[in-house]
């Protein structure tokens, strides 16, 4: 008991001792173990022998020796398993001996408890994007906590938000941020003391200003908008602009609640870049910059001129097909196609988009004349170019006793005119056979041609207009002269004999466009077929040869421009 009173008395006296040789700094909780730190001060006294650590794990218990063999060159001590099996409320002091002159004195350090006091909060002053380098600057005031150790920075846009740890400066540059030109970036900071006690973070985030913009070349203006600065209240935003290769300069300012700006009356064919800077409420110093904008180029587009319809022709589908040609130096927003004829007002037909230059107008008949033209709009949606009117060639055919008369209207699409018109003809016993067209003559001026009637049943024609430059061409519709007369067919076929096929014959018939239905004597449908150019061989729709008997048929035969309906019977012989 006397020893406890003596130790307590010595501890009290030690609180008033000056010039302690050992300055006990801190005690840190390291989980299962406690870490003790001290420093040895230089003076005229000599530190003797070893250092002793005394401690107790509760304020109601007496102190006892933890370790007395600590060499005097040590400045820290690890108290192993001090918190096993549970954390305890430890406090410690250090006992040591010094020799001052001839006297040997036992001294005691201050008594320290475990340091679990977090340092003062550290809050970012601002986060700012360099509009030229596209890096992010972070700044803050230094932490004045006596036991302060280091800063920890965070960026929440990364998968791992830890930006840097154990940092001592009050300024940091994020050299590899998530691109500030794609989004607003979020940052935070916390601080720790020498025992790595860290202040909570997450309540004082700062976010960069994210700026975007669009330009209107019609009125030579730029519209920029930006996200509000998060971190402190904004007094005002200053707008900076760079023209072409110049430097950024202040052009205007807006209130802290305004997040957009229109820059008007800019110079044509000139590039502009922007950024904004936010200034903190109640401060003339603290500010934050946005990312820099992309370049906006004013009035660089050329209005459409000399847009052409290259040709209007009948294509392989026997439909009207148009080809257009853009002016290579023009800038188009749209090219609209319009159509009219002698009895109707112009109607919108189609918009050519991208690099599209061909269009099939399947909604009209190619035996009528149609006039087409183009309206081209500039990048502002204003019509600045109207093409020449172009038409399709419509060919007509009439006959007299011995001749066929062809007539067509002139083609007026090309600027340099038509060199000539070439007439093509094919002939055969049927329309299907009349498919091998060959050129029979050309005419430079006339749009009339007379041809003698052909000996075969069908004669078909079309005309091609040839451009004077030799590049373009335009094909007319196809017309046919078809001789008509009686249609013949057999009344029997022999499955095992020479006459195995039932078919139709006659001038001007087209079996490709004809059909037939065959019934048995009880009215049951045995066979049905469109395109009967191969005839009927006595089989039903299942491919089975029918039995010898009398069958009845109905047929729709294409002859010239007409459909001839026939009825009759056919006998199958076995």
CA nearest 206: which of 184, 233, 186?
186
Q: Quick one: pLDDT at residue 326? A: 93
What mean pLDDT comes out for the span 222-228? 96
CATH of 124-207, one of 2.60.40.10, 3.30.950.10, 2.40.37.10, 3.40.1710.10: 2.60.40.10
- When mean pLDDT is compared across 139-143, 271-275, 403-407, 562-566, the lowest value belongs to 562-566
Q: Which two tokens stand for residue 39?
A: 């420093």
Handedness of CA 284, 289, 290, 296 (dihedral sign): positive
- Rounded to the nearest integer, the mean pLDDT of the chain is 89
Question: Which residues, including other chains, have CB under 8 Å from residue 203's CB and lie 6 or more apart?
Answer: none
Given a cut of 60, whether residue 274 has pLDDT beyond it is yes
- When mean pLDDT is compared across 7-21, 66-80, 414-428, 439-453, the lowest value belongs to 7-21
Rounded CA-CA distance 262/215 in Å is: 9
Phi-psi region at 478: left, alpha or beta (left = phi > 0; alpha = psi -120 to 50):
beta
Given a cut of 60, whether residue 10 has pLDDT beyond it is no
The percent of residues in the chain predicted with pLDDT above 70, rounded, is: 96
What mean pLDDT comes out for the span 305-321? 92
Q: Quick one: pLDDT at residue 109? A: 93
Q: Quick one: pLDDT at residue 357? A: 94
Rounded CA-CA distance 102/195 in Å is: 39
CA nearest 188: which of 233, 151, 243, 237?
151
CA angle 11, 14, 16 (to 5 degrees): 130
Domains 211-297 and 308-391 share a fold: yes
Given a cut of 50, whether residue 12 has pLDDT beyond it is no
CA nearest 31: which of 97, 103, 86, 92?
86
Place of tokens 């860290």: 198
Highest mean pLDDT among 233-242, 286-295, 473-482, 507-516: 233-242
Q: Quick one: pLDDT at residue 531? A: 93
What mean pLDDT comes out for the span 304-323? 92
Q: Quick one: pLDDT at residue 353? A: 86
Residue 381 per-residue DSSP state: S
Given a cut of 60, whether residue 549 has pLDDT beyond it is yes
- 250 compared with 513, residue with greater pLDDT: 250
54-97 tens-digit pLDDT: 999 999 999 999 999 899 999 999 999 999 999 899 999 999 99
What mean pLDDT comes out for the span 187-196? 91
Q: Quick one: pLDDT at residue 8? A: 45
Question: Which residues, including other chains, have CB under 8 Å from residue 527's CB and lie 6 or more apart?
Answer: 516, 517, 518, 536, 539, 540, 541
Q: Quick one: pLDDT at residue 175? A: 95
Alpha-carbon distances, residue 553 vs 5, 458, 516, 526, 543 (angstroms): 135, 27, 7, 10, 18
C-beta neighbour count of 357 within 10 angstroms: 13
Q: Quick one: pLDDT at residue 378? A: 85
CA angle 121, 123, 125 (to 5 degrees): 155
Contact yes or no for 247/195 (Cβ under 8 A):
no
What mean pLDDT comes out for the span 382-411? 90
Given a cut of 90, whether residue 424 has pLDDT beyond it is yes
Q: Quick one: pLDDT at residue 3? A: 44
Highest mean pLDDT among 30-39, 166-175, 187-196, 265-274: 166-175
Given a cut of 80, whether residue 560 has pLDDT beyond it is no
Given a cut of 50, whether residue 5 has pLDDT beyond it is no
Domain boundaries along the sequence of the chain: 2-113, 124-207, 211-297, 308-391, 395-482, 492-573
Q: Quick one: pLDDT at residue 415? A: 67
CATH 3.20.20.80 fits domain 2-113: no
Residue 349: alpha-carbon gap to chain centroid: 30
Given a cut of 70, whether residue 17 has pLDDT beyond it is no
The percent of residues in the chain predicted with pLDDT above 90, rounded, is: 64
Alpha-carbon distances, residue 541 vs 116, 208, 532, 546 (angstroms): 97, 78, 14, 10
Given a cut of 80, whether residue 14 has pLDDT beyond it is no
Given a cut of 70, whether residue 222 has pLDDT beyond it is yes
Given a cut of 70, whether residue 7 has pLDDT beyond it is no
pTM comes to: 0.50
What mean pLDDT comes out for the span 374-387? 89
Alpha-carbon distances, residue 409 vs 83, 193, 370, 464, 547 (angstroms): 108, 97, 12, 12, 59
Rounded CA-CA distance 349/336 in Å is: 8
CATH second-level architecture of 211-297?
Sandwich (2.60)
Q: Quick one: pLDDT at residue 18? A: 46
- When mean pLDDT is compared across 4-18, 211-225, 467-481, the lowest value belongs to 4-18
What mean pLDDT comes out for the span 202-206? 86
CATH code at 308-391: 2.60.40.10
Rounded CA-CA distance 465/477 in Å is: 12
What mean pLDDT comes out for the span 345-364? 93
Alpha-carbon distances, residue 490 vs 434, 525, 570 (angstroms): 25, 20, 7
Q: Quick one: pLDDT at residue 469? A: 78
Given a cut of 80, whether residue 300 has pLDDT beyond it is no
91-115 tens-digit pLDDT: 999 999 999 988 999 999 999 999 8
CATH 2.60.40 fits domain 492-573: yes
CATH 2.60.40.10 fits domain 395-482: yes
């Amino acid at each position: 008991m006397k020893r406890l009173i003596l130790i307590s008395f010595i501890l009290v006296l030690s609180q008033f001792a000056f010039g302690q040789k050992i300055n006990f700094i801190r005690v840190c909780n390291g989980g299962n173990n406690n870490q003790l730190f001290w420093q040895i001060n230089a003076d005229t006294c000599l530190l003797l022998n070893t250092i002793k650590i005394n401690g107790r794990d509760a304020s109601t218990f007496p102190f006892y020796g933890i370790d007395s063999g600590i060499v005097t060159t040590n400045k820290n001590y690890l108290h192993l398993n001090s918190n096993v099996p549970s954390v305890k409320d430890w406090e410690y002091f250090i006992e040591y001996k010094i020799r001052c002159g001839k006297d040997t004195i036992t001294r005691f350090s201050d008594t320290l408890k475990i340091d679990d006091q977090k340092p003062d909060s550290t809050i970012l002053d601002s986060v700012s994007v360099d509009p030229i380098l596209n890096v992010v600057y972070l700044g803050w005031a230094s932490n004045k906590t006596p036991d302060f150790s280091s800063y920890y920075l965070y960026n929440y846009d990364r998968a791992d938000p830890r930006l840097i740890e154990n940092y001592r400066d009050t300024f940091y540059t994020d050299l590899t941020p998530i691109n500030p030109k794609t989004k607003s970036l979020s940052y935070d900071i916390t601080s720790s003391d020498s025992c790595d006690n860290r202040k909570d973070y997450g309540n004082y985030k700062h976010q960069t200003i994210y700026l975007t913009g669009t330009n209107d070349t019609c009125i030579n203006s730029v519209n920029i908008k930006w996200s509000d600065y998060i971190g402190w209240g904004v007094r005002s935003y200053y707008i900076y602009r760079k023209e072409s290769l110049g430097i950024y300069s202040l052009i205007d300012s807006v209130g802290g609640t305004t997040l957009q700006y229109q820059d008007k009356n800019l110079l044509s064919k000139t590039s502009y870049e922007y950024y904004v800077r936010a200034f903190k409420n109640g401060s003339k110093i603290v500010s934050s910059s946005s990312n820099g904008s992309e370049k906006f180029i004013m009035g660089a587009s050329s209005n459409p001129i000399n847009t052409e319809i290259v040709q209007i022709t009948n294509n392989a589908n026997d439909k009207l097909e148009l080809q257009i040609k853009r002016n290579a130096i023009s800038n188009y927003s749209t090219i609209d196609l319009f159509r009219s004829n002698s009895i109707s007002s112009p109607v919108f037909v189609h918009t050519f988009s991208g690099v599209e230059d061909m269009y099939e107008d399947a909604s009209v008949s190619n035996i009528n004349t149609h006039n087409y033209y183009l309206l081209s709009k500039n990048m502002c949606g204003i019509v600045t170019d109207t093409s020449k009117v172009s038409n399709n060639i419509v060919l007509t055919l009439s006959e007299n006793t011995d001749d066929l008369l062809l007539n067509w209207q002139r083609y007026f699409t090309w600027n340099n005119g038509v060199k000539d018109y070439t007439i093509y003809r094919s002939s055969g016993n049927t329309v299907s056979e009349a498919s091998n067209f060959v050129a029979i003559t050309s005419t430079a001026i006339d749009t009339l041609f007379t041809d003698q009637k052909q000996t075969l049943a069908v004669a078909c024609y079309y005309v091609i207009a040839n451009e004077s430059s030799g590049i373009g061409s335009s094909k007319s519709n196809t017309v046919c002269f078809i001789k008509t007369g009686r249609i013949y067919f057999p009344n029997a076929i022999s499955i095992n004999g020479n006459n195995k096929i039932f078919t139709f014959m006659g001038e001007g018939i087209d079996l490709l466009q004809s059909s037939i239905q065959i019934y048995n004597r009880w009215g049951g449908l045995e066979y049905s077929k469109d395109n009967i150019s191969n005839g009927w061989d006595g089989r039903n729709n299942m491919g089975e040869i029918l039995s010898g008997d009398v069958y009845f048929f109905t047929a729709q035969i294409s002859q010239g421009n007409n459909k001839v309906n026939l009825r009759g019977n056919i006998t199958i012989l076995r």
